[in-house]
Structure 1
Amino acid sequence: MRQVAIITGASEGIGAELARQMARQHGADLALVLAARRQDALQAVAQECETFACTVLVQICDVGEESACRALIDACITRFGRLDILINNAGVSAHALLEDVHDLQWYQDVMRVNLWGSVWCTHAALPHLKASRGRIVAVSSLAGLVGVPGRTAYSASKFAMNGFFEALRIELKPAGVSVTLAYPGVVATRIRYHGYNAQGQPAGVSGLKEENAMRVEECARLILRGMQARQRDVVMTFKGKLGRWLKLLLPGVIENIALAAVKQDMGPKNRA
């Protein structure tokens, strides 16, 4: 039976690569619903996937709007009649010191996209995923396991996302629906360049050191492997796994490591 999967944030970066790899692996046995805000970019990804005989539905969706999230699930069910996999990948980045932020509206926008977009999509998809004993993937971040200076808005949204999906995982265990939380570190995508700065504008630069950024192909491969195995968590790097335990045992050490990951000119300032 052909499986049906939804990927949010599928127009570029991790989401687009997840779509390509899934299409390559499953071909005609897979139907993909690709969701994002930019139709031209989505169509380009869809064309790549269709070369592997995969059926693709493109759906314009801003996950920061509840009605758009619910319309996404409705479009999938109307077209394919079922849903087996929901990958909550859409997200927005941000890098700013709290003391430099004068209007916190964009903090709410980050939470709306990163947390509520996933909540709304998952809530609408729930009966269909229970019917198929399907899979849910939530693409979080290492910044959702360890707070990173200059990323208060982003870390808060990802910590909240983790709590939601950890609780949901237990709720859905009797129904046979798996919930996989993925924790990428720094991945070679443009998400941080598109994210918010202190003024709530597109940053145009990354506030993190990216010399050893993970290739997006490797990140997507690890997420899909974890999803297929119905793993609870996918922590992708040795530093990430180590940091998770050091936070419990030596919190001061992990705070220094987090500080070192931030570019010098983007880090906390000592002000008189």
Structure 2
Amino acid sequence: MRVVVITGASDGIGAEMARRIAAKQGGGVALVLAARSREALESVAGACDALGAQTLVCPTDVGVQAQCVALIDAAVAKFGRIDVLVNNAGRSAQALFEDVADLGWYEELMRINLWGSVWCTHAALPHLKASRGSIVAVSSLAGLVGVPGRTAYAATKFAMTGFFEALRIELNGAGVSVTTAYPGVVATKIRHRGFNAAGQQAGSSGLKEDGAMTVEECARLIVDGMNARKRDVVMTLQGKAGRFLKLVAPGLVDKLALAAVKDDVRPH
């Protein structure tokens, strides 16, 4: 049986990945679902159970190392192995750097987005090496191209990109694949629940969301990339073009990044 651990599994991309994997593999998969809300996790687990999967709900705050270790320990205690670790948990943020008075929430965001992935991966690595399994890191296009008003978020996602790129090379001979996914704007509420300049919940998105990718399509692309053990999953034409143009026309990329931000949150 394939054992898949998914952080940030209570809603959005993580929950949809869980449902998709359960629908595809049914009784051949065990899903270990982690997030802070037990109630929301139980709802996702119920849907996956109905599709034939086995599930384990593990309320977890990935911003706390001990809870990351406990998550991995619980997965191994229940199912005896780990085949896939999906580092999906994360939080967004939207604030112009000059408007931030207290940088404490920058540190908190880094702890959630980067360190949560690092801690979970470190705890799971011996088990993934034993199974010759897979690691998935859900970064963002903001981990490839900086976007104004998202200095904190981009910093965390660029850090994820660098960490998992280096780890991929380290694990090249161990049979463990590392797939980094780069979603663009996806139709979730992550930006509404992110930090604002005061370190409070933003309540709205600072990005233009016309034509946002559906959660279902985003989850499909990540799961397909995971199963194919791809290096990277860059999901949009704009993302692929931006990655190339950053090398040959960086000034143009800056203009495109600025154009993605709503007028009322642009630099003043």
User: Do they superpose with TM above 0.5?
Assistant: yes
| Aligned mates of 1:188, 1:98 — CA distance in 2 | 25
Q: Is 1:134 matched up with 2:150?
A: no
- Within 5 A, what are the aligned runs for 1:122-201? 122-201=121-200
Q: Which residue of 1 aligns with 2:235?
A: 236
| Aligned mates of 2:191, 2:19 — CA distance in 1 | 22
Structure 1 unpaired stretches of 5+: none
Q: Which runs of 4+ in 1 moved over 6 A?
A: none
SS at match of 2:192: helix
The superposition leaves residues 76-102 of structure 1 with CA deviations (integer Å, 9 ceiling, x where unpaired) of 000000000000000000000000000
Q: Is 1:54 matched up with 2:53?
A: yes
SS at match of 2:122: helix
- Deviation of the 1:53 alpha carbon: 1.0
| Aligned mates of 2:57, 2:263 — CA distance in 1 | 41
The superposition leaves residues 87-133 of structure 1 with CA deviations (integer Å, 9 ceiling, x where unpaired) of 00000000000000000000000100000000000000000000000
SS at match of 1:4: strand
| Aligned mates of 1:182, 1:220 — CA distance in 2 | 10
SS at match of 2:93: coil
Aligned residues: 268
TM-score normalized by the length of structure 1:
0.98
The superposition leaves residues 17-67 of structure 1 with CA deviations (integer Å, 9 ceiling, x where unpaired) of 000000000000000000000011000000000011100000000000000
Structure 2 unpaired stretches of 5+: none
> RMSD of the alignment, in Å?
0.3
Q: Which residue of 2 aligns with 1:109?
A: 108
| Aligned mates of 1:62, 1:40 — CA distance in 2 | 14
| Aligned mates of 1:226, 1:28 — CA distance in 2 | 21
- Deviation of the 1:155 alpha carbon: 0.1
- Deviation of the 1:225 alpha carbon: 0.7
| Aligned mates of 2:65, 2:230 — CA distance in 1 | 28
- Within 5 A, what are the aligned runs for 1:1-272? 2-269=1-268
Identity of aligned residues (%): 67
SS at match of 1:207: coil
Amino acid at match of 2:63: G
| Aligned mates of 1:263, 1:156 — CA distance in 2 | 20
